């Protein structure tokens, strides 16, 4: 059975000192998301915005469920994200968007206003790439083909752990077996687990930033800023719109685990799921090239999440 061609667009952002977080959030929620969800197709199926719950940079994460990984190369999307050709969606007096699209340059915040913006595209890792608490508990409702790497039905979890892993080639097969056969089944027994999704990196669309400094008012600022951000090197110019950020390719594997509460991490079930002999074997130092884990809190969701 072929894997449905769903995709995921992941964007990490830090606003830095040139833009307040509140201004960035207002722009994202009021000007950026709705035009994406109104693109024909639809190309974008749903969206969620998350903020760091672990006091590490980058402080902002956005996830967009795509009809296909190639949606980001569709001409209508490319036209939208161009600074000189974006679209906005007007709002009616009762706060609803009227669906009309008109030329508007405000859709894209220019990279030189942001400390960091990194965009990546992922595709489902395998035939079984999503585990959902409602489905696993015997929900017989039709999923419209979305169940593999696709948008969730109902509300997202209040918290999410983002796990990025790069394995050595010889260790990938066992890593995938462990994740699918033991790790996620054990996580699904943790009180407060909502769902898990797995992806592989398809492409990096770009990483841009205006500087390396950290805004003291931002989560993860100052000495606590993430090593991941500090490793970035800004080089040259980028058409006058900020400087391109060069860094090593992100880890190949991505797992997203959603939770109702961070109390789940203190449960005996979670401790068991993260300390089994098989896990210790799979994640030995001589098998793992890179391992990153972040914790985010949901800020807002749109599209298929809303009823």
Task: Say which CATH number the domain at 246 has.
Answer: 3.30.70.100
Q: Rounded to the nearest 5°, which phi and psi values hold at 183? A: -65, -55
Say if 210 falls within a structural domain.
yes
Angle at CA 59, nearest 5°, toward 57 and 64? 125
Say if 197 falls within a structural domain.
yes
Please compute the mean of the pLDDT values over residues 96-105 and round it to a whole number.
44
In angstroms, the CA 22 to CA 35 distance is 20
Domain with 295, as residue range(s), is 7-91+105-303
How many separate domains does the chain show?
Answer: 1
pTM, whole model, 2 decimals?
A: 0.76
What pLDDT, on the 0 to 100 scale, is given for residue 129? 61
Tokens describing residue 216: 């003291």
For residue 83, what pLDDT band results from cuts at 50, 70 and 90? low
Select the more confidently predicted residue: 87 or 31: 31
180 has a pLDDT exceeding 90: yes
DSSP conformational letter for 134: H
Say if 291 falls within a structural domain.
yes
- DSSP string over 39-98: SSS-SEEEEEEEEESSS-S--EEEEEEESSGGGGGSHHHHHHHSTTS-EEEEE-TTS-EE
What pLDDT, on the 0 to 100 scale, is given for residue 154? 56
Helix (H) and strand (E) counts in the chain: 9, 13
In angstroms, the CA 207 to CA 241 distance is 12
120 has a pLDDT exceeding 80: yes
Say if 100 falls within a structural domain.
no
Tokens describing residue 88: 């906005």
Helix (H, G, I), strand (E, B) or coil at 234: strand
């Amino acid at each position: 059975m072929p894997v449905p061609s769903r995709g995921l667009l992941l964007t990490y952002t830090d606003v830095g000192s040139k833009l307040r977080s509140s201004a960035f959030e207002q722009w994202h929620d009021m000007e950026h998301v709705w035009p994406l969800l109104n693109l024909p197709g639809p190309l974008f199926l749903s969206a969620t915005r998350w903020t760091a719950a672990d006091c590490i940079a980058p402080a902002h994460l956005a996830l967009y469920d795509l009809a296909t990984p190639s949606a980001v190369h569709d001409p209508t999307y490319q036209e939208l994200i161009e600074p000189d050709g974006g679209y906005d969606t007007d709002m009616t007096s009762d706060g609803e968007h009227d669906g009309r699209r008109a030329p508007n340059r405000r859709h894209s915040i220019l990279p030189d206003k942001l400390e960091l913006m990194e965009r990546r595209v992922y595709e489902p890792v395998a035939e079984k790439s999503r585990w959902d608490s409602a489905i696993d508990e015997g929900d017989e409702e039709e999923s419209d083909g979305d169940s593999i790497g696709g948008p969730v039905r109902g509300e997202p979890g209040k918290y999410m752990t983002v796990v990025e892993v790069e394995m050595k080639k010889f260790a990938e097969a066992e890593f995938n077996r462990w994740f699918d056969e033991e790790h996620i089944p054990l996580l699904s027994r943790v009180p407060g687990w909502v769902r898990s999704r797995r992806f592989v990196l398809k492409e990096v669309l770009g990483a841009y930033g205006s500087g390396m400094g950290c805004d003291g008012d931002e989560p993860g600022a100052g000495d606590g800023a993430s090593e991941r951000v500090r490793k970035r090197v800004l080089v040259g110019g980028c058409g006058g719109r900020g400087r391109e950020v060069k860094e090593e390719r992100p880890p190949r594997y991505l797992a997203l685990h959603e939770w109702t509460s961070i109390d789940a991490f203190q449960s005996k079930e979670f401790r068991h799921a993260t300390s089994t002999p098989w896990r210790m074997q799979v994640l030995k130092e001589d098998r793992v090239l890179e391992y990153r884990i972040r914790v985010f809190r949901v800020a807002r969701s749109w599209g298929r999440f809303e009823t």
